[in-house]
Amino acid sequence: MHILVIGLGNMGKKYLLKLEELGKAPVLCDKDPNKAIDDYPFYCHLDEVQEDIGAVIIAVDPKDHVKLARDFLDKGVPVLLEKPPALTYLEFIQIYHYPNLYISEIESFSACLNYFPKNVKTLSIERLGKGKGYISPLWDLAWHDLYLLQRFFKEIEVESLKVGDVWELKGKADGVDFTIRVAWEHPSPARRWIINDGSLLLDFAKEEVWENGNLIHKGNTDKLGAMLKTFLSGRFDGKSRERALKNIILLEGIKY
């Protein structure tokens, strides 16, 4: 069985690299024929694919996610769908019920999460990217932090959004105030959680944990590789669908 990668943009190429490292046999599909890669079957149209497909990775413009995923899900083929999986609740609910649907949650594989404290008084989050996404810094970047918050808190509420060079989202998680600052093409990229006024720092970019100014953990976690291995082994967290649904409801409800 082959693994079909649909979309050879930034994320699609990263998935291809990991599949090569894992010794898997990828089949590639992209509407741009110039993205064909030697030694791998390549198609511009899905109806032309001839190989037996055992799993599918979809990394294209989110507006096309649902329609591309549905045919494979109907056939029982596991689908790993990049985030966000859809742009509206009504769209996503069309595929939400499929047990073979998994939503990308790369940051869930960070060892930094093991250091998240039980007592949280303040939480400031920065996700400042060097690249540009499909929709907005909110949907493309804050998405990660919202699904991570769901792992530690039951009730997440959005209170306000300030749009500028850096977008600032404010809310509460089980009554704890949080701020998420996100931006595209930022001169100082960062992905970190600053907890309890800086006494604890979880740096997801460097996979480091700092406590009171002291480095207490430094890892080299291949988060994408770990997620892909889990997906291909069939052990992917099925609750990724639930977290994605909650994210969409939260984000769709924000007016800007």
111-220 CATH, one of 2.60.40.1840, 3.30.360.10, 3.30.70.980, 3.40.50.720: 3.30.360.10
pLDDT at 9: 94
pTM of the full structure: 0.95
Q: Do 59 and 15 touch, CB atoms closer than 8 A?
A: yes
pLDDT at 255: 83
Cα distances from 73 to residues 18, 63, 77, 97, 102, in angstroms, run 23, 17, 5, 10, 11
pLDDT at 145: 98
DSSP 187: S
| DSSP calls for 150-177 | HHH-S-EEEEEEE-SSSEEEEEEETTEE
pLDDT at 25: 85
d(CA 146, CA 140): 11
Bridging pattern class, strands 123-128 and 156-162? unpaired
Provide the token pair at 82: 């990049």
Q: Do 58 and 45 touch, CB atoms closer than 8 A?
A: no
Query: Residue 145, SS3?
Result: helix
pLDDT at 118: 92
Which residue, among 56, 20, 58, 62, has the nearest Cα to 38 in the 3D structure? 20
CB crowding 41-80: b at 16 or more within 10 Å, else e: bbbeeeeebeeebebbbbbbebeebbebbeebbeeebbbb
Where do the structural domains in the chain lie, given as residue ranges? Answer: 2-104, 111-220
Tell me which fold the domain 2-104 belongs to. Answer: Rossmann fold (3.40.50)
Which residue, among 48, 50, 91, has the nearest Cα to 70 in the 3D structure? 91
Provide the token pair at 171: 């809310």
2-104 and 111-220 share one fold = no
Bridging pattern class, strands 79-81 and 101-103? parallel
Q: What is the length of the chain?
A: 256
- How high is the mean pLDDT in each 10-residue block of the chain (256 residues)? 95 96 94 94 96 97 96 96 97 97 97 96 97 94 98 96 97 97 97 97 97 96 94 90 98 90
pLDDT at 129: 94
Q: Which amino acid would we find at residue 146?
A: L
Bridging pattern class, strands 208-211 and 214-218? antiparallel
